[in-house]
Structure 1
Amino acid sequence: MSARSRAAWPLVALFAAGYLAAYLLPTVVGRLSSGLGLSSTQAGLIGSALLLSSAAAGFTLASRVERYGERRLARLGLLLAFAGYGGGALTTYVPLVVAGAAVGGFGSGTATAVAAAGMAARPDPHRATTLGLLTVSATAGTLYLTIPHLGGGHALPFAAIALVAAAVWPVTGRLPEAGPARVTAAGDAPVSPLPRLRSGAVLAVGMLCWSLAQNALWGVSGRIGLNQAGLSEVTVGAVFAVALGAGLLGVSGAGALGLRLGRTAPIGVGTVVIAGCVVLSSSARDLPSFAGGVMLWNVFYPVVLSYLLGLAAALDPRGRWAVLVGSASSLGVACGPLTGSLLSEQLGFVGMGTVLAALLLVVAGPLGVVARGVSGRGPVVGTVHQDEPRVALAS
């Protein structure tokens, strides 16, 4: 059994540790505002700095994971995450909190980059990605239910992310010390160009817009429930908790379905359904419509995300497109809350939802086209393809 095969669960754990900060962003931003006396805009900017730093790590490391080795980079990422978030949890001095969020974000992005590259080389990257999303959803859901009972302040969510990074550290010992080297018949080790450049670029841009739309709504969902639907904070929190549970069902369903329907229908049709959920959530004026929109949205969002990430992995078995597309997604996540706030202030919640739904409908077409053009798993590690340099991966 190869090192890649043995490393499945370590990659899943690493993926969950890297993605956790983005999943906990609403409570991180809320606690920064209430715990440090910051305005909503100031707290949101710190959250954006965290995610932008995470995206920067992905763009920086997209083609370097093999060079430096999965184990080394994974440990560096987890160390930065533990030090950054842990340091931010121990202080109330805002500049140090900002620095901790940025350092921790870079660590999260590094861990995610390693996990994405490793998952792309798996025989079934969609299954690995689904397991990763299932794990991070379950972890985030548990923390959403636990943190409110442990007290206030910004330290708790920061400390939780740091502790998860520390908990994942031991499993990195099962990752390879150095990535497999690409060799040719002549024995040299060339650096191959990115395959399927046009499809990858369309997917990256589409993923940025897709994630921006999702997180623009997520950033103001609490305000929609409180101000427009007239719900209490307790009720809104309960809706979010149930929605996370619904998301687990969605991820489980995606894992069970696999590629039986291909990727085109889940991505294209799923994005259209999400657009409808966005309209329903943004126009909610009572509990049934608000809860229905949020829960349906959380069912379909991780399903489509798993297929998008699996599609990115299928474009390049070395994982470079998986890392780049994931980083583009992080960039969209970072810009989402600010976009949602600006649109809701200018157009109201209903107008904002209409604009975001239209954006999703626009990107659904190109994303579906890319998915249709990539059949099956994509390039398989260790094989030779006509449209790529004739190289093989040394096992």
Structure 2
Amino acid sequence: MPSPRTPLPWPVLALFTAGYLAPYLLPTVVGRLDAYLPVTATEAGAIGSALLLSSATAGFALASLVERIGARTLARAGLVLAVLGYGGAALAHAVPAVVLGAVVGGFGSGTVTAVAATRIAAQPDPHRASTLGLLSVSALAGAVYLTVPHLGPGHGLPLAAIALTALAVWPLTGRLPAAGAAPHTRRERTPLPRLRAGLVLLAAMPFWSLAQNALWGVSGRIGLTQAHLTEATLGVVFAVALGAGLLGVLGAGALGPRFGRAVPIGAGTVLIAGCIAVSASATDLASFAGGEIAWNACYPIVLSYLIGLAASLDPARGRWAVLVGSASSLGTAAGPLTGSVLSAQAGFPVMGAVLAAGLLVIAVPMTAVALRAGRRTLPVVEIPVETPVESRAPRTTTAA
């Protein structure tokens, strides 16, 4: 059992935050693209999907290459792409340039996330590291949601926030291992362990993430058009919801191994399904805020256990953590477009009902994997009181 005094992997947590921030800011990114660029709501959702698909592509491409290339080199390359891509998209006004910047930035986010996932899997307590990472990116995203509505109009503010975060993380990359820092020549040929469990989780995660981010991608529009909120009120709701997410992650850390992995993943997914149905059918502040806050409180709890579960399948090299995270990003990428199309064709309430039903179905195989893999004892997760939360995935939305 690792000691609660084990030094926290701050560079890894910073990378986690930089990599996951884009999915967490998806509602305001898509909403501002729709409001301030000559694109339709569906086209804005498609741009968000392109960003996240690029991120997923990076994860799949780099899953087995982090050791060979070196965590430091890959992290720096990803941060550079994020700064240039998101920064360029924030400054551009032509739609093609914004799309190109979003895709380049998304690839950078995926590269950074791949490095963070492999390093988290290598930690003595990957669940603890993942919960701290979710705390970090939740808090930062909440601060952005509170701040952006007061900084003026334009599509570029949330994109600039992602770029600046990547720039701020750069100095910490010097503490990451370089290529050749550890022997790995023979380990590169090692087959993936626990293949059946990994493949089931790999197949299930895109659908789980799609449901989350289909709602998260259109939550801004639900609040503005169906619940009749102002942008400032909407920002407060999202900030409070992300604050509830912080409490959820702290709750996951406090629960640790007490209920294993199957109960948090299975029961948590069922609760999320109910929250999505409530939020999507909301017509006033109370119902919208209630659904979003409850959903955001449950989402990171389940996500933290899923990240820990994936990491436990290949603790030596973290390949399942990267692959499952990238599969989650595929669902995240399809989420905004799926939510936009479903809501445009059938309305928000029907969209919510369809997503909730899908989550109930997908909860079964995910719980089965957790039951089998969770027979091994989970490490006790203890998050120290002094944990900083100034820096919150998927949204493995990852909104989500």
Q: Deviations over 1:100-135 (max 9, x none)?
A: 111111110000000001100111100101111110
Matches within 5 A, 1:141-220: 141-178=142-179, 180-182=182-184, 191-220=189-218
Percent of residue pairs identical: 68
Letter in 2 for 1:180: A
2:265 aligned with 1:264:
no
Q: Which residue number in structure 2 is paired with residue 360 of structure 1?
A: 359
TM-score if structure 2 supplies the norm length? 0.88
The structural deviation recorded for 1:330 is 1.0
Q: Which residue number in structure 2 is paired with residue 106 of structure 1?
A: 107
Match of 2:297 among 296, 299, 305: 299
The structural deviation recorded for 1:88 is 1.9
Structure with max Cα Rg: 1
Which of 1 and 2 has higher RCO (CA within 8 Å, sep 6+)? 2
Q: Which residue number in structure 2 is paired with residue 384 of structure 1?
A: none
Distance 1:212 1:325 in 2: 14
The structural deviation recorded for 1:233 is 4.1
Match of 2:238 among 237, 240, 259: 240
Q: Which residue number in structure 2 is paired with residue 333 of structure 1?
A: 332
2:133 aligned with 1:135:
no
The structural deviation recorded for 1:57 is 0.2
Q: Deviations over 1:272-312 (max 9, x none)?
A: 11111112222223332222111110100011011111111
Specify every segment of 5 or more residues in structure 1 that has no aligned partner in the other structure, as ranges: 380-395
TM-score if structure 1 supplies the norm length? 0.89
Moved more, 219-228 or 275-284: 219-228
Letter in 1 for 2:22: A
Q: Deviations over 1:148-185 (max 9, x none)?
A: 211211222222111111110111111111253247xx
User: Is the 1:316–1:378 contact (alpha carbons within 8 Å) kept by the matching residues of 2?
Assistant: no
User: Is the 2:227–2:288 contact (alpha carbons within 8 Å) kept by the matching residues of 1?
Assistant: yes
Distance 1:96 1:132 in 2: 31
Moved more, 46-55 or 171-180: 171-180
Distance 2:254 2:119 in 1: 21
Distance 1:201 1:232 in 2: 44
SS at match of 2:189: coil
Q: Which residue number in structure 2 is paired with residue 387 of structure 1?
A: none
Distance 1:377 1:92 in 2: 53
Specify every segment of 5 or more residues in structure 2 that has no aligned partner in the other structure, as ranges: 1-5, 380-400
Q: Which residue number in structure 1 is paired with residue 85 of structure 2?
A: 84
Moved more, 221-230 or 361-370: 221-230
User: Is the 2:260–2:378 contact (alpha carbons within 8 Å) kept by the matching residues of 1?
Assistant: no
Give RMSD over aligned pairs. Answer: 1.9
Q: Which residue number in structure 2 is paired with residue 389 of structure 1?
A: none
Letter in 1 for 2:318: G
User: Is the 2:130–2:308 contact (alpha carbons within 8 Å) kept by the matching residues of 1?
Assistant: yes
